[in-house]
Amino acid sequence: MSKEVTYDTTDQVDVIKGHPAEEVVSPSANGQTGTAGSCVSEELKNANLANSENAEILEKYAADYPVGPHDKPQSMCPAFGSLRVGLRMRRVATVLSGSACCVYGLSFVSHFYGARRSVGYVPFDSESLVTGKLFEDIRDSVHDLADPDQYDAIVVTNLCVPTASGVPLRLLPNEINGVRIIGIDVPGFGVPTHAEAKDILAGAMLNFARQEVEAGPVQAPKGEKQDRPTVAMLGEMFPADPMMIGAMLAPMGLGVGPVLPAREWREMYAALDCGAVAAIHPFYTSTIREFDAAGRPSIGSAPVGYDGTADWLAAIGDTFNVGADKIADAQNAFLPAIKGALSQNQINGRITVSGYEGSELLVARLLIESGAEVPYVGTACPKTPMSQADAEWLASKGAVIKFRASLEDDLSAVEAFKPDLAIGTTPLVQEVKEKGQPALYFTNLVSARPLMGPAGAGSLAQVINTAIEGGERMANMRSFFENVGEGDTAGIWQGAPNLRPDFRAQNLKKIEKAARAAKAQEMI
């Protein structure tokens, strides 16, 4: 007889059990299966690809942005990258289509990082997704929003669920009332990093602008047209860097063009009018393809450090068929200043570098030329032809370069090389600091500084040396707070934690007993 006390017979009712969680699927807009939530599994994604309206787009992403050890990003949602590019542009509206939780998070983080405009949102439910009403809602929203007095373009972005379900943004009209309509898909399962999502939008916009130029006259870019050949800059940089690059190009009779991703639509016309493009950040695969289609050559690396500046100026000069004397003039005008800045701002210590911004190799070059030992450089971005020169230079200095590096790769490097300072992503910095070791967040504290020319040569030393010198302070803090806020003392306590040594002793006996039993089992 059971000792359980019952008050009715509900425990005897037969319960109809549902399918296991992994078997539960919901229909998509095209009659195939899709997810009701925002996190699309690899199995479901592959099952949908064969019949999805967006299969061709996802296959293109697989070629342009090959995945690494993880099939999903380890950084924030990739759509943050394209959303941020759109929100920075003047007279451009951004509209998202995806799960409400995703849109809320993306809108929040975008405004946290300084966005000053609203993010449009087209909601959906199971019915609108299945019947195709979601696409009609997107089309109606774009028609309502297309006001030529306010906007030059509207960017519509499909997140995970609409992309996997085949919502066809390519069927939107290219133009409404003179307002350009740019539809892109940025799913978490097809775009490994938010850096590469910037390339998706920048490439889509440049493709549209290139077709406009080929079709006939377009609006003139703001400002006076330069009377010298120009070089477009590809990659987000510190605001002073383009001006420094322009000064270095001047002795060769060249000027600096617009920086892409652009801040205004007409800047893309000026970028296409440049003689070449400098891929400061090497992961802009789609954008470089558009420049290639326009007949504009691409140059990798950047004028960072002494060797990097000398090689980059020579490559730019060769591309524009500049005479060797003018190339030498440009080098002689700036290389001595760079060498002086490097010698006056030395960095002493072993440093590991990792991140997902795309400029990790450039930062590592600058650190090495400043005197630091850099045994490991990890980047979440892929290996591309534009990063080859930097990778070869770093390898010649003894650095291990890991493309598509995962958090596990970066943590393993910190464990193996035991650096004086670890530069990396938020989770890496958190892990390293918990061990009482110095660490710096790459995005906010390192990449957001001038890197080019003489200004960049001395920009990192102060923050890096200060962080390394803080190692002893970190160790003292670790010693002082040892065992506080971790293990059974974690959480918020009004008084001293309830340690209960009697429970510890009892649990220890259980562990020892289990160990003895396991040992005895081995002997049998």
Which of the listed residues 192, 217, 238 is the one where a domain comes to its end?
192
According to DSSP, residue 54 is labeled: T
Residue 367 structural domain: 342-479
Q: How many domains does the chain have?
A: 3
Task: Please give the pLDDT value at position 4.
Answer: 55
Question: For residues 308 and 366, what is the distance between their CA atoms, to the nearest angstrom?
Answer: 9
Is 469 found in the same domain as 363?
yes
- What CATH number does residue 413 fall under? 3.40.50.1980
* CB-CB contact of 285 with 272 (8 Å): no
Looking at the domain assignment, is residue 117 inside a domain?
yes
Shared-domain flag, residues 159 and 187: yes
What is the per-residue pLDDT for 12? 60
- CA–CA gap between residue 281 and residue 365 (Å, rounded): 14
Pick from 287, 320, 338: which residue ends a domain?
338
**Do 458 and 382 have their domain in common?**
yes
> Does residue 17 belong to any structural domain of this protein?
no
Closest CA to 194 of 57, 381, 379, 60: 381
For residue 46, give the 3-state DSSP assignment: helix
422, 453, 452, 424: which is closest to 438 by C-alpha?
422
Residues 327, 358 within the same domain: no
- pLDDT of 8 reads 54
Whether 5 is covered by a domain: the verdict is no
332 and 346 in a common domain: no
CA-based nearest residue to 204, from 140, 154, 258, 243: 154
Specify if 524 maps to a domain.
Answer: no
Q: Are residues 135 and 234 in the same domain?
A: no
Gyration radius of the chain over CA positions = 28
Are 280 and 156 in a shared domain?
Answer: no
Q: Is residue 504 part of a domain?
A: no
- The reported pLDDT for the residue numbered 22 is 39
pLDDT at 504: 84
Task: Indicate the residue among 277, 308, 338 that finishes a domain.
Answer: 338
Instruction: Name the 3-class secondary structure at 231.
Output: strand
Token match 């297309």: residue? 146
Q: In terms of domains, do 162 and 40 share one? A: yes
Q: Can you give the pLDDT of all 524 residues of the chain as single tens digits?
A: 455 555 555 556 554 444 443 333 333 434 344 444 445 455 545 545 544 567 888 888 888 998 877 667 787 899 999 999 999 999 999 999 999 999 999 999 999 988 888 999 999 988 998 898 999 999 999 999 999 999 999 999 999 999 988 899 999 999 999 999 999 999 988 899 999 999 999 999 999 999 999 999 998 888 777 889 999 999 999 999 999 999 999 999 999 999 999 999 999 999 999 999 999 999 999 999 999 999 999 999 999 999 999 999 999 999 999 999 999 999 999 999 999 999 999 999 999 999 999 999 999 999 999 999 999 999 999 999 999 999 999 999 999 999 999 999 999 999 999 999 999 999 999 999 988 899 999 988 888 889 999 999 888 998 999 999 988 888 888 788 777 777 777 777 777 777 788 888 899 999 999 999 988 888 76
Same domain, 237 and 102: no
| pTM across the whole model | 0.83
Phi, psi for 18 (deg, rounded to 5)? -80, 180
For residue 34 the two structure tokens come to 């899709």
Positive/negative CA dihedral, 462, 468, 472, 478: positive
Q: Would 54 be classed as within a structural domain? A: yes
Q: What is the structure's pLDDT at 57?
A: 86
Q: Do residues 112 and 234 share a domain?
A: no
57 and 98 together in one domain: yes
Flag whether 93 is in a domain: yes
* 217 domain residue, yes or no: no
Whats the size of the chain, residue-wise?
524
329 shares a domain with 357? no
